[in-house]
Amino acid sequence: MDQNKLKKGCAIALAGFAVLALLLYLIGGEQFHYREDETDMLSQVAVVEEITADDTVEQEIQLNGNVVGLSLLGATYNRTNTGTLELELLNGDTVLDHLSVDVSQMADNQEHYVPLHNPITESGTVLLRITAPESEPDNAVTLYYGSLSEERKNPAEDTPAKLNGKEINGALCVSLTTKTKILFGDIYWYCVGVLLAVLGIFSLRLLKANERGETTQTLKLLHAFSRYRFLMKQLVARDFKTKYKRSVLGVLWSFLNPLLTMTVQYIIFSTLFRSSIPNFALYLLIGVVCFSFFSEATNMTLSSIVGNASLITKVYVPKYIYPVTRVLSSAVNFLLSLVPLLLVVLITRTPIRFSFLLIPLVILCLMALCLGVGMLLASAMVFFRDTQFLWGVVLMLWMYATPIFYPETILPDRLLPLFKCNPLYHIIRFFRTAVMNGVSPEPKAYALMLLASLIPLLLGVLVFKKTQDKFILYL
C-alpha cells in the first residue's frame, strides 16, 4: 500500500478521534458527570376530583438521595385549562420548596415533570401539598392515584393521599428524580489520552509494517477496500436499483414505508390501546425505522453469498465484500427514511438540540449489528437453505421482544434482564434519549450500545472467516 496515503490516513484518523472526543464531551455535558434516576410510579387506578380553589391534596413521600425534581400523572379532560397548581414540599412547618405548574402546559394522561428550584439532599418523609388557587370547576385538572397494594421498587408514596383532610383509597402517582455524581466525567480526558496513545502506537506499527513490506490483517483489509472500491460501489448501486425496479413511486417508498407503518401502528396503539407514551408518534417512528433497517439489512445479507454464487465461482473477490455491500445498500435506504423522521420531529415541535449529533454514532452501531448478524446468517444459509424461512419467524419474535410500540415500563421486573439481552433494545433506547429527551444518554448507555453492536459483529466475523473456505463446495 502507498506509504504516503497510509500516513495521511493515520493522521486523519488521529485528528478525527481528537475532534470527536471533544465534540462528544461537549454533547455529553452534565450526563457525563451526573446520573439521574427516577423512582417507580404507581399504576393509575382512578383520579382525584377536579382540583379547584377550595381543594387541597396532600401526600406523604419518602425522600432518599439528591432529589432534583418530581413527576405527576394528570388528567386534563382533553381541554386546555387555565391557572396553576401550587406545589409545596414541607418538612414540618419548614417549606423546602414551592413550585408553580402552569396547568395549560399539562397533557392529558401523561406524566408532567416539575424541576425543583434547589436539590433536596436530606432524607426522610416530607409532605407534598397541592393547591390550585386560580382554578374553577370545569376548568381545572385532576391527578391520578394508584393502589398502595401494588408492588414496586423505591416507592415515592407509602401512605394514602388526602383530599381536604380525608383519606382517599390510594396514593398519588408520583415519581421522584434524583441526581448522583458519577466518576466518568472526572476521568474522561484520561481515558481519551490513553486511547489516543494506543491509536498512535497502532498507527506507527502499521506504518513500519507497511514500510518493511510485511502483511497484517489491517493492511490486508485496507488494501482490499481500496482495490475493490469500484466493485463495492457497483454492487451497492445494483442492490439499491433492483429494490425499486419497475416500481412507479421508486425511491419515494423509502419515505412512505416508515410513515405508513407508523400511521397504522399509531392509530392502533394510541386509539384502541390508548398508549400513554409522551410524543408517541416520534417514539414509534424511531422504533419503526431502526427495526425496519435491521430487518431489511439482515434479510438482504442472508442471501449475499448464495445470491452471488456465479461471481464467487468465477472471479476472486474477498467474500466479506458481499455482505458488507448489502448492509451499505440498506443503509442508503435507512438514511432516506430519516427524512420523514425529521419531518415528524418538526411536526411534533420536538426541540432540535446538540444531542442530535449522536445519531451518526447510532447509525454506525446499528450497521455493525446488522453486519454481524448478517454474516452469521449468510454463513448458515450456504450450508442450510432453510435459514431464510427460520429467520422470518425469528424476526417476528424479535420485533415483539423490542419496545417499538410499547413502553419498556410494562415489562415485568423478572423478565427485564432477559429483554436487556436484546441488542436492539439498547440501540433504540439510546436513539430515543438523544432525540426525544434532547440530552446525551448516560455513559452506561454508550457502553451497552457499543457492546450490543461489537459483540455480534466480532462473532459474525469469526464464524464467517472460519467457514468461508467451504462456501465453494455448497454453492
Q: What is the pLDDT of residues 225-274, one digit of tens each?
A: 888 888 888 888 877 777 666 665 666 666 667 777 767 766 766 665 55
Task: Quote the cell numbers at residue 113.
Answer: 415533570
> Which phi and psi angles does 73 have, rounded to 5°?
-105, 115
d(CA 291, CA 399): 7
Domain ranges of the chain: 1-33+182-226, 37-180, 228-474
> Which phi and psi angles does 84 have, rounded to 5°?
-135, 155
Which pTM value belongs to this model? 0.81
d(CA 445, CA 429): 8
pLDDT at 356 (0 to 100): 92
CB 435 within 8 A of CB 355: yes
Return the amino acid letter for 118: N
Helices 359-383 and 387-400: crossing angle in degrees, nearest 10, is 150
d(CA 85, CA 100): 6
d(CA 2, CA 293): 36
**Can you list the residues of the chain whose pLDDT is less than 50?**
153-155
Maximum distance among all Cα pairs of the chain, rounded to whole angstroms: 87
**Bridge-partner residues for 47, per DSSP?**
144
Query: Which of 91, 127, 96, 99 lies closest to 115 in space, CA to CA?
Result: 99
CB 31 within 8 A of CB 442: yes
Return the amino acid letter for 244: Y
pLDDT at 154 (0 to 100): 47
How much is the CA Rg of the chain, to the nearest whole Å? 27
Residue with cell 485528528: 15
Helix (H) or strand (E) holding 125: strand 124-131
pLDDT at 250 (0 to 100): 60
Return the CATH number of the domain spanning residue range 37-180.
2.60.120
> Which phi and psi angles does 2 have, rounded to 5°?
-60, 125
